[in-house]
Structure 1
């Protein structure tokens, strides 16, 4: 065992399911063996670029298999990590860079953030060049600060001004264990993640849950210019998806597709909506068309997932006022704040 619960999770899953597909997008995929082998190589590239243990790394990446490698490589390198939307307007990217003050920015070739960074930039194209099974050039280093801060995420700001939230490795691994236990996610599952991995829902409920369980993570492929909905429909047709974790807008869009558009949901056992309120009318229309209830999850960037509606029957009426019950490893306490009038 290492000093890093995150690396232990990756290694344990890779040892148990080495040839299983960890992440796939279009024609590109990584097995768990390849993922575990690529992580230390990417960590070396981070160190060589200017990210020593304790440094902060900014991931400006869209959904792609390399996101998983870079994300876990920060734990290998003993760094902290923050993921952002790489396609934000220039003024927003400048603000996020100023707030984050990264030692290294990780992005894809040609992304605007590379020109704005003001610090060393590592492109995933360079870092992933070469055979994935090639061993690292030097022995693996013991990660620094493994029980300290690891992931920084920006809250949605739905209850006020957005806040920067810091979570440690143990928190992330524990949440992944809670999710997989609550939703009974196993290595036989295929998770479709149309949610950005830089978002807490995609990062925590999709990527970490898949790696914790050994499930396959499917990322819709939009490289040919397909819309987000078309990419999801194509992924459903290509992969035996068992869990669809998405935002309410996607379920709304799927329910609104023309009646002659085939949407393959035959293997899906759980549709989970998160990140925003699910309108009961959307849930009813989706179920009427596809025969599948849309369950809800509730949580926060600070605490992670709190409630998942995964019981034998959906929460009554699936209204915005009901979001399931605390997961199998969670406990919840309600607090009432009184205001003097």
Structure 2
């Protein structure tokens, strides 16, 4: 059977250019439009400013002795400086290894060793932990963004307008004395060292060529997920390939704006979506659930959103439908992995086809299949198995040199050729989120429980839990217990102990009588 996606050379449809050429060498961008914006502060670099900063930082890396082809760890929070550093390393002919800033020093050191890094670029405030990791990994060259910055830091462009940007897309920066550096690396050279998500063991370092990275970003850029006029917010870390090559690089190629570093809290996300007038949001499923169900969402003005894309795990159709109805925008699912240099699937027509829980048929150049994990035999439609993706040939001189990667994700396909992700292999489809009443009812100290809205002077009606005890228990302990076992959007604000939960003959809760028993206004 021919794998879904066909058996043609997966690189044939993509330009044979380097990563820097693909991202910074296109004429699509308005030079004065913001390229990357820091979500909390609003600090921004225009597209012209980004090219200028990349050129200056690439020259600084060369002056610091960073060798062509050497690996450089990039240990920076999401923001303009991250984009500058990653592309400066590439423009200098070296290979960036993006690293999570939340990783402990021991894990940083392990990944730096695994990637063979010879230098590390970090944020000044992170210098101490980065220094510990660098010393453990045997790296003597530790740089901060201050070492790479031109005389002005990337905090925006001058009112007089951006200075002309030197083209860094087709060659590295000049070496000392003005002599040109060697030509940019070939498309078969390693462009980026990506780190796997580490869900089935320690994160691994995966080398990805320029050809693979370009194919990964171009298939997203050409998918229609993002347009030139969009403002894109990826809540997936840019240090991961889904954020880097599934959002940042395609958006920069198209001339769009990327809002980076929205923070981990729901209010941080909602404030960034509102204040930055985000039009496309790439979110993990848990944040799509927040948009669909959290009671604070209506307080924010999110009318600019035209599309929400869920990636990083399965999303239920009912959640996608609830989010779309609440926000009045399209909700789509996407799928990708580090080894494939970003996104491989995007369900562009999920709503029209009634398949909101599918990740779609696969982006151009992607072939995939679902196999029995034990035998490797391809599964029939609707039969679950392990999703395998054909990885791109690493050399255009060897167009037949392809391999299949077992993703470790359980999936099935329907008879229309769409893929459905079930979760990690062996976990099956996630169970529906637990209800607070159910969680409380199984507590050994609780005989009966119900959740009902109660008035709050500041928030209006909020969910309270009311319990009848079978043995002594503190209301505060029960509150912690229930909120630890339900998603945040299903949490309750208080637990009240009552002697009885009044119900009608049909079993309906008599809310006013219940509130009276709990001493609350009705």
Answer whether TM exceeds 0.5 for this pair: yes
Q: Provide the residue aligned with 1:298 in structure 2.
A: 335
More helix by share: 1
Q: Provide the residue aligned with 1:20 in structure 2.
A: 33
2:122 and 2:179 mapped to 1: Cα distance? Answer: 26
**How far off its partner does 1:171 sit?**
1.9
**How far off its partner does 1:207 sit?**
0.7
Q: Provide the residue aligned with 1:325 in structure 2.
A: 361
Aligned residues: 332
Q: Provide the residue aligned with 2:453 in structure 1.
A: none
1:228 and 1:146 mapped to 2: Cα distance? Answer: 42
Per-residue displacement from partner, 1:233-257 (whole Å, max 9, x unpaired)?
Answer: 1122222322110111211233343
**How far off its partner does 1:206 sit?**
1.0
Q: Secondary structure at the match of 1:296?
A: strand
Q: Which has the higher contact order (CA 8 A, sep 6+)?
A: 1
Q: Larger Rg: 1 or 2?
A: 2
Normalised TM-score (structure 2)? 0.58
RMSD between aligned alpha carbons?
A: 2.8
2:368 and 2:291 mapped to 1: Cα distance? Answer: 35
CA contact (8 A) 1:180 1:209 kept: yes
**How far off its partner does 1:275 sit?**
1.4
Q: Secondary structure at the match of 1:326?
A: coil
Per-residue displacement from partner, 1:154-212 (whole Å, max 9, x unpaired)?
Answer: 22244666432211122222222211211253211111122211011110111111111
What are the residue-to-residue correspondences of 1:251-270 with 2, within 5 Å?
251-259=288-296, 261-270=298-307
1:287 and 1:221 mapped to 2: Cα distance? Answer: 21
Q: Secondary structure at the match of 1:41?
A: helix
Q: Provide the residue aligned with 1:127 in structure 2.
A: 148
Normalised TM-score (structure 1)? 0.87
What are the residue-to-residue correspondences of 1:144-155 with 2, within 5 Å?
144-147=184-187, 148-155=189-196
Q: Provide the residue aligned with 2:270 in structure 1.
A: 233
Per-residue displacement from partner, 1:220-274 (whole Å, max 9, x unpaired)?
Answer: 455xxxx532222112222232211011121123334324752333222211111
2:31 and 2:302 mapped to 1: Cα distance? Answer: 28
1:182 and 1:246 mapped to 2: Cα distance? Answer: 18
Q: Provide the residue aligned with 2:388 in structure 1.
A: none
Match for residue 183 of structure 1 among 224, 231, 250? 224
Matched, 1:59 2:95: no
CA contact (8 A) 1:76 1:143 kept: no
1:216 and 1:139, CA in 2 relative to 1: closer, same or farther beyond 3 A? farther
CA contact (8 A) 2:115 2:193 kept: no
What are the residue-to-residue correspondences of 1:1-341 with 2, within 5 Å?
5-13=18-26, 16-25=29-38, 26-111=41-126, 112-118=129-135, 119=139, 120-131=141-152, 133=163, 138=178, 141-147=181-187, 148-158=189-199, 162-222=203-263, 227-259=264-296, 261-303=298-340, 304-311=342-349, 313=351, 316=354, 318-319=356-357, 322-327=358-363, 329-334=364-369, 336-337=371-372, 339=375
5+ residue gaps, structure 2: 1-15, 155-162, 167-173, 377-522
1:184 and 1:308, CA in 2 relative to 1: closer, same or farther beyond 3 A? closer
5+ residue gaps, structure 1: none
**How far off its partner does 1:31 sit?**
0.7
Per-residue displacement from partner, 1:274-296 (whole Å, max 9, x unpaired)?
Answer: 11222345324423432345311
1:268 and 1:81, CA in 2 relative to 1: closer, same or farther beyond 3 A? same
1:156 and 1:221 mapped to 2: Cα distance? Answer: 20
